[in-house]
Structure 1
Amino acid sequence: MENYIFKSERLGFRNWSENDNPKMGLINSNTTVMEYFPSILSQEQTDAFIERMKQQFLKNGFCYFAVDTLENNQFIGFIGISEQTFSADFTPCIDIGWRLSQSEWGKGYATEGAKKCLDFAFDEIGLTNIKAICPVINKNSEKVMKKIGMRKMKKFNHPLLSNYNKLEECVIYELSK
């Protein structure tokens, strides 16, 4: 149905469409999904995020991709790679990230999708290094980083989270081809 850039066993990865905005807005307004972020996001903030992803895709051929389950073509969130340019000793860099609807947690989608995005980044785009960042307290995301073969570099204080004590200390993982 959709025009997928690539697929994994159960997931389709694509550029964003207008139909995704309200669905991503619901995900971004879920307090459990956004537990390790400074706040939930408004629909306007979600719309701006999706627009940034569309522009990044046009510029680079990648972004945090909109993701559907292939079984029923249902949008479930995003998994992909994105430019990070905040001020740190490892930026600018390309990082991998994911945010899925809470109803889709525990099904292995983040791990499956992240592995496929790494393959795409290394084999199709020709990138040689991918990083992943999360607050130290986000153990579930850190587990995914380990499952996809990334190795821990270090802990650091994220400059964009300096006003959020429980989120500021982050961990960074990386994988090189």
Structure 2
Amino acid sequence: MTEIHTPRLLLRRWTDDDLVPLSELHADPEVMRWVDDGSVRDLERTAEDIERWEEEWDDEGFGLFAVELLGSGELAGVTGLSVSEFLPEDALPDVQIGWRFARHFWGQGYASEAAHATLEFALQDRGLDRVVSVPRLGDAASENVLRKLGLAPTGEMNHPVHGVPLVVHSIDLTEFEA
């Protein structure tokens, strides 16, 4: 089982106990406004997300982690790697990094800490050459995390399904400072 420990977090695979806290995170419109079309997700859709993420782990050898606080064991959010199917041709077949955290964990550096550990995992454990991220235009918090990680903007596009504007960022992992 793949686990990553940081000073404050445990990044791990999903368990049945994660469904309710993740569905609560997915029910918050402020959290979800930056994800896909901005809609909240119910318990059933959240269960489908977890199932899809676990399948990606099995198929690709990476996926989205559950992010747990080491001190309390509380589920704080999601971070990890995924194969994007909608990036422009010049960005494919890159792997995408992403995250989302419950609102009461915002502003505490958890997203940066988890994403940094995920980039180290991509480079050192999975041997990836490049990672991209495609936050929605205007997502200043994600832009801040991306700057800290060294991902640079490389272009803009609209999401092919939801039509929202996205900013493509990338990093060559040979330049990543672990």
Q: Same fold (TM over 0.5)?
A: yes
Counterpart in 2 of 1:124?
Answer: 125
CA deviation vs aligned residue, 1:114-141 (integer Å, no higher than 9, x gap): 0010000000110111000111111111
The aligned amino acid for 1:118 is: L
Alignment of 1:43-82 (within 5 A): 43-82=43-82
The Cα of 1:4 is off from its aligned counterpart by 5.9
Counterpart in 1 of 2:176?
Answer: none
- Please state whether the residue corresponding to 2:83 is helix, strand or coil: strand
Runs of at least 4 residues off by over 3 Å: none
Aligned length in residues: 170
Identity of counterpart residues, as a percentage? 29
The aligned amino acid for 2:131 is: I
Counterpart in 1 of 2:16?
Answer: 18
Alignment of 1:75-90 (within 5 A): 75-86=75-86, 88-89=88-89, 90=91
The Cα of 1:6 is off from its aligned counterpart by 1.2
* Cα pair distance change 1:87/1:128, threshold 3 Å: closer
2:87 & 2:143 partners in 1: Cα distance?
Answer: 22
2:87 & 2:101 partners in 1: Cα distance?
Answer: 27
The aligned amino acid for 2:41 is: L
- Please state whether the residue corresponding to 2:161 is helix, strand or coil: helix
Matched, 1:173 2:174: no
1:4 & 1:74 partners in 2: Cα distance?
Answer: 18
* Cα pair distance change 1:104/1:152, threshold 3 Å: same
1:121 & 1:100 partners in 2: Cα distance?
Answer: 20
2:63 & 2:2 partners in 1: Cα distance?
Answer: 13
The Cα of 1:36 is off from its aligned counterpart by 2.0
2:149 & 2:7 partners in 1: Cα distance?
Answer: 15
2:22 & 2:87 partners in 1: Cα distance?
Answer: 27
* Cα pair distance change 1:30/1:6, threshold 3 Å: same
CA deviation vs aligned residue, 1:73-93 (integer Å, no higher than 9, x gap): 111111111111126322332
- Please state whether the residue corresponding to 1:99 is helix, strand or coil: strand
The answer on whether the counterparts of 1:86 and 1:92 sit within 8 Å (CA) in structure 2 is no
The aligned amino acid for 2:106 is: W
Contiguous gaps of at least 5 residues in structure 1: 163-167
The aligned amino acid for 1:149 is: G
Alignment of 1:102-141 (within 5 A): 102-141=103-142
- Please state whether the residue corresponding to 2:169 is helix, strand or coil: strand
Matched, 1:98 2:99: yes
The aligned amino acid for 2:59 is: K
The Cα of 1:70 is off from its aligned counterpart by 0.8
Matched, 1:29 2:30: no
1:147 & 1:13 partners in 2: Cα distance?
Answer: 19
